[in-house]
Structure formats: structure tokens, C-alpha cells
Amino acid sequence: MRQISSQHTASRVYKNSTNIPLIKKQYTMKMLMYIVVFVLLFTGCMANKVADSLIQESCKNISKSILVDTIPNFEKDCIESLKANPESQKARNVDDLIMVGMNNAMSQLSNVKTTVEKIIKEKKYKSSLSKKLLEECLKLYSKSAHMLTSGLNYLKKGNLEKAQYEINDADEAPVFCELKFNGDNQQISPVKKENDLLLTMINIPYICTANKVADSLIQKSCKKITKFLNKDSDSIFEKDCVASLRENPESQKVRNIDELTVVGANNAISNLTNVRRIVENIIKEKKYKSILSKKLLEDCLKLYSKSFKSLTSGLNYCKARNFGKAATNFTEAQDAPIFCGIKFNGDNKQISPVKKENDFLITMIEIPLQFAADITHSH
């Protein structure tokens, strides 16, 4: 019995030893599967984080636009609507979000239109006038649907400029539909909430597209005048040019160099006002280093006043599209920061307390000056 048992045990050991490679292979396959699943889950989580961060940052940026500052809860609705669309989790850049936003807008438009059709069909309107107004709204929705479709097609072709015009015009439906229901005719819109949300849905892809168009114009324009002034492409001038124009909310609406020149002129006026206020405070609070320094600063204030008049005149010429005269006025406006700086020199041993501010003011005036000169030469 002992002999049989011994042989039986040896047989089992032999069989198990022959299965060891197979067991190792199965173990390795299982581990690989676990690793693959882990990588997929990890990648998916990271992708979702990237998309969520992109959505929040984009919605925060476009909510600052002056175009939507009157729309309540815009940022909140922007984030929620984009996150609600599963396609947004694949978004890796603003271009991807614009496409998601466009699909959201078209879907919301379809929903509002269906709601109005149902109200009319089921006779849930309050009066015959209300029915007539809703029928007019349906016509507006049809036009907006055509514009959004056209805008989407332009986006797919990469023509952002034409796309933004089509998308922008599409917001006429929710806006004018609501205007039809007003205090004068004592009618209350049964789809006010839906129209308000539709307006938000349309503005999301519109502002994103408009910002890209404006930003491209800003970068190209600043690069062009930087090159004309024989400055390095990575110079401080070009960086200040781009940054200052981007910071002005009005730049979000610009479509050409003419409009950008107006933004630049307004920036220069604002900057001049700030420098003048700083000098006035230095004098008022007696923070000047000497009596001579005080006198020089008072001279600077007189120069700033003349410069302000020149900048204002230049701005008006820009609005009248007389860029030749605008350029002349902008050139005269530079006298203030230049001569104010010259007054503080090595001869009188006075140091300007606003040297940095004056140097930046020269740049701010140079921007609309070069834009205006470029327009004049191109004509």
C-alpha cells in the first residue's frame, strides 16, 4: 500500500510540474488584463479631468464677455450644458468645445420649437394674439436653424469669420420672440425660460468663435507693426501689444484692423488717465524728492492734458475713418510721456518717479498710431 501511495504521489507531482508553464502563462495573461483595465480607467479619468478643466476655464472666460454680461447664470448654464453632452468628454481644445456647443444650441432650438408647436397644437395659448405671436416665433426659429446649420458647415471648413456671423445672427430668434411678448400688448411668453436658455446655448459657440477670430487678428496685427518697427518678434513691445488689447473686453467684438485701432486708442486714453492720476497723487501727498521734482511733475501734468486732447481727437478721427489725421494726432500725443521723461535727466540730477509708467504709455500710444498708419498706407 505504501508503494502504491508513493507511486501515486510521484505521478501527481509529475503532472503538476508539467502544468507549471501553463499556470504561469494564465497568471501572466490575467495580470496583463488587470493592467490594461487599470490603464484604460486611469486614462479615462485623466481625459475627463482635462475636459472638465477645459469646460470650466472656457465658460469662465467667455462669461466675462460684455456680450453676455446681462444674461443671468451664464457661466453656470454654460458649464452644465457642456458637461451634460457626452461628446464634451472627448474635447481637448476650444475648437472641440465649439462643436459641442453648436450641437447643444441646435438641440435646444429644436426643443423650443417643438414646445411652441405643441402649445399651438394643443391650444394651450392664453389668447388669439398669443397664438399669432407664437406662430411668428416659429418662423424665427426656422431662420435660426438655417443660420446655425450654415455656421456649423463654415466651422467644419475652418472658416471661423463667416461662422461667427451666422451663429451671431441665430440669436435673433430667442431675442425677438421674447420682445413680441411685452408690457405693451400685455402678453406673457410661455417659453421665456426656454428662450433664455437658447440664447445662452447660442452665445457659447458664438463667443468662443468670436474670441478666436479676434485673438488671431490681435496677434497678426501686433506682429506686423512689431516687424515694421524693426523690433524682435519676441520683443516686449509685441507682448505688451497683444496683452493690452486682449485685456480690453471691447477687443472681443473686433473684426478688422479699423476696429482694433479704436480699441488701441481707448487703451492709450485709459493708460494716460492712470499716469496722470499717479502724478497728481504724488504732488498731493508730497511724495516728490525735491521742489524741482515737484515743478517738473507739474509740467508733466500740462503735457498730459495736451496729450489727452490729441488722443481724444485721434479716436474721433478713427471713428470717422480718417486714419491719416488720427495718426497725426497720436504722434502728437506721444510728446507727453517722451518730454516728461526728458525733463528728468542727468543734468538736473532728478529721477522720474513715473519712468516705468511713461515708457509703457509710449507703447500704448504707439499701438493705435502704427495701426492707423498701416491702414492709411494700405489704402
| pLDDT tens readout for residues 27-76 | 566 666 655 555 444 444 444 677 889 999 999 888 877 667 778 889 99
Q: Are 333 and 310 in contact (CB under 8 A)?
A: yes
Whether 115 has a pLDDT exceeding 70, the answer reads yes
Over the chain, what is the mean pLDDT? 88
Please name each of the domains of the chain with its CATH number: 1-216 (1.20.140.40), 256-378 (1.20.140.40)
Average the pLDDT over 124-143 and give the result.
95
Q: Which residues of 263-272 are buried (b: 16+ CB within 10 A; e: fewer)?
A: bbbbbbbebb
Q: What pLDDT does 9 receive? A: 52
Whether 21 has a pLDDT exceeding 70, the answer reads no
DSSP per residue, 260-309: HHHHHHHHHHHHHHHHHHHHHHHHHTT--SSHHHHHHHHHHHHHHHHHHH
Q: What pLDDT does 8 receive? A: 53
Q: What pLDDT does 20 receive? A: 61
Please give the Cα distance from 109 to 145 (Å, whole number): 7
Whether 2 has a pLDDT exceeding 90, the answer reads no
Q: What pLDDT does 186 receive? A: 83
Q: What pLDDT does 253 receive? A: 83
Of the ranges 166-175, 201-210, 248-257, which one carries the lowest mean pLDDT score?
Answer: 248-257
Closest CA to 202 of 170, 156, 176: 170
Average the pLDDT over 355-379 and give the result.
95
Residue that wins the pLDDT comparison between 250 and 69:
250
Q: What pLDDT does 379 receive? A: 72
Query: What DSSP character marks residue 95?
Result: H
Q: What pLDDT does 17 receive? A: 54
Average the pLDDT over 204-218 and give the result.
93
Helix (H, G, I), strand (E, B), or coil: what is residue 368?
helix
Q: Which of 18-22, 27-31, 178-182 has the highest mean pLDDT?
A: 178-182
Grid cell at residue 300: 508733466
The structure's pTM equals 0.74
Whether 144 has a pLDDT exceeding 60, the answer reads yes
